[in-house]
Amino acid sequence: MANYRGERKMVACKQADSIRNNVELFQEDLLTVQTLGKVISNETITTYLRQMLLDLGSQKCSVRKTMSDKKAKGTELKPLASASEVRGEASRMTLFVYMRIIINRMKSLGKIRTAEAYTSTLNSFCRFRQGVDIELEQIVPNVMIAYEIYLRDKRVIRNSSSFYMRILRAVYNRAVVELGIDNKSPFKYVYVGVDKTKKRAVSLECIKKIKQINLNNRQGLDFARDMFLFSFYTRGMSFVDMAYLRNDAVSKGELVYYRRKTGNRLSVKWESCMQKIVDKYRNNSKYYLLPIIKNDNKNERKQYINCLCSVNRNLKIIGRMIGLDIPLTMYVARHSWASIAKKSNVPLAVISEGMGHSSETTTQIYLAAIDSTRVDRVNSHIINMLK
């Protein structure tokens, strides 16, 4: 009897801790939403909380099944509500509230980029709805068709429209699983694919013009050019990876870093042209190799975004100065390296054409699977062609 009571007490304590942790997390969600100026009804709070407690109740039931002592009969806790009752209440959860809860959870998990993408999508849909929220159960195909038409009328490009649709679809599918709402396939008739983007690569001759153009006494333009060339020199490194390069990333003639987007480890042979750029700005950053994130007392991601906007703005000025027919941005450096590498007979197993979003993952897998010295030889050859 004593052993049974001890076991039951231990299980009860674990259950209490679990309930306490989940309630605290839920309260944080509500606080975030309320600070955004949105009023959440008591009914919505009850719906979400009871769903959570029902899940915990199901866990208790599975524990009780392993404790078959008849003496415990009549002491078991019953679920707060039936599954059908909770589903009925969950169906009244609204999209705006549900998305803000998800966004808050993403931020708490450190998924800042994803949270920003969800926030951008929510803001767009809010504008479409003119600030009027909508229950998840009311999201049907006609609603999403109307949203797609709205985006088209606002001259939102097809890939951006599809981007918003895919995020909303992910939120809706999550609600189907978490809240048990009926799946009405609201995205059946809208576009959720990815179109090929316009040309973003420039020729080796254009890269030479960018390198050689006189930018004396134009510090902002000069810095933008240096960042563009550094990306090109490092096989099209993305700006976010450049921003977070630590001072110890270079060792024994090799630059080693992990892609922020995929987590893949990449190594690049360190060339003198890269060192020249680093030396030029060496005293400007305490922890990082490049002066993109300068102040460790301020939000690092905000510094990165602000710097990227400034660099791209100045690169477009440089592009116009050399007569480019496309906007010059940091992303052009990435595409250009891929295009020039292909023309240098680098196999598609090493680098895919254009390094667009649809093929980037495959390209990185190929790069990781081959001898990195082979890629370094190609990169050295491309850099030498600029001299």
Q: What pLDDT digit, counting tens, does each position of 232-263 carry?
A: 999 889 999 999 999 999 999 999 998 887 78
**pLDDT confidence band for 201 (50 / 70 / 90):** confident
CA distance 141 to 143: 5
353 pLDDT above the threshold of 60:
no
Give the CATH number of the domain where residue 157 resides.
1.10.150
Beta bridge partners of 266: 257
Residue 363 lies in a domain: yes
Mean pLDDT throughout 157-186? 95
Residue 189 lies in a domain: no
Beta bridge partners of 94: 135
**pLDDT confidence band for 38 (50 / 70 / 90):** very low
Q: For residues 237 and 224, state if they share a domain.
A: yes
Q: For residues 99 and 158, state if they share a domain.
A: yes
Mean pLDDT throughout 26-55? 49
Highest mean pLDDT range out of 16-25, 113-122, 200-209, 333-342? 113-122
34 pLDDT above the threshold of 70:
no
Q: Is 69 exposed, middle or buried (0-12, 13-18, 19+ CB in 10 A)?
A: exposed
- Number of domains making up the chain: 3
Of 90, 111, 140, which residue constitutes the final position of a domain?
A: 90
Q: For residues 335 and 351, state if they share a domain.
A: yes
Q: For residues 106 and 48, state if they share a domain.
A: no
Distances (CA, A) of 236 to 44, 246, 310, 366: 48, 18, 19, 16
Of 72, 90, 108, which residue constitutes the final position of a domain?
A: 90
All residues at 6 or more sequence positions from 5 whose CB lies less than 8 Å from its CB, including other chains: none
**pLDDT confidence band for 35 (50 / 70 / 90):** very low
Q: Give the DSSP letter of residue 288.
A: B
191 pLDDT above the threshold of 90:
yes
All residues at 6 or more sequence positions from 301 whose CB lies less than 8 Å from its CB, including other chains: 112
Q: Are residues 101 and 37 in contact, defined by beta-carbon separation less than 8 angstroms?
A: no
Residue 313 lies in a domain: yes
Long-range contacts at 318-321 (CB < 8 A, ≥ 24 apart): 318/210, 318/213, 318/215, 318/221, 318/224, 318/225, 321/213
> How far does Cα 248 stand from its chain's mean position?
26
Mean pLDDT throughout 316-335? 93
Q: For residues 326 and 354, state if they share a domain.
A: yes
Q: For residues 54 and 113, state if they share a domain.
A: no
Q: For residues 80 and 105, state if they share a domain.
A: no
80 pLDDT above the threshold of 50:
no
Considering only 38-47, 149-158, 191-200, 277-286, which range has the smallest mean pLDDT? 38-47
Percentage of the residues of the chain whose pLDDT score is greater than 90 = 49
59 pLDDT above the threshold of 50:
no
Mean pLDDT throughout 93-115? 92
CA distance 242 to 290: 7
Distances (CA, A) of 252 to 93, 165, 276, 357: 57, 47, 17, 32
Residue 184 lies in a domain: no
Is the whole-model pTM more than 0.75?
no
Highest mean pLDDT range out of 111-115, 211-215, 298-302? 211-215
Considering only 72-81, 201-210, 336-345, which range has the smallest mean pLDDT? 72-81
Q: Are residues 152 and 161 in contact, defined by beta-carbon separation less than 8 angstroms?
A: yes
Query: Which of 348, 349, 308, 310 has the alpha carbon at shortest distance from 331?
Result: 308
Q: For residues 270 and 285, state if they share a domain.
A: yes
Tokens 């602000």 appear where?
Answer: 306
Domain that holds residue 226: 204-385
Q: For residues 147 and 86, state if they share a domain.
A: no
pLDDT at 47: 53
Q: For residues 246 and 368, state if they share a domain.
A: yes
Residue 275 lies in a domain: yes
Of 58, 90, 122, which residue constitutes the final position of a domain?
A: 90
Mean pLDDT throughout 82-105? 76
Mean pLDDT throughout 257-281? 89
Q: For residues 62 and 100, state if they share a domain.
A: no
306 pLDDT above the threshold of 90:
yes
Tell which wins on pLDDT, 7 or 176.
Answer: 176
Please spell the DSSP secondary structure of 34-49, one letter per residue. HHTTPPPPHHHHHHHH
Considering only 3-7, 86-90, 221-225, 354-358, which range has the smallest mean pLDDT? 354-358
pLDDT at 375: 66
Residue 190 lies in a domain: no
pLDDT at 272: 94
Give the CATH number of the domain where residue 282 resides.
1.10.443
Residue 300 lies in a domain: yes
Q: For residues 242 and 349, state if they share a domain.
A: yes
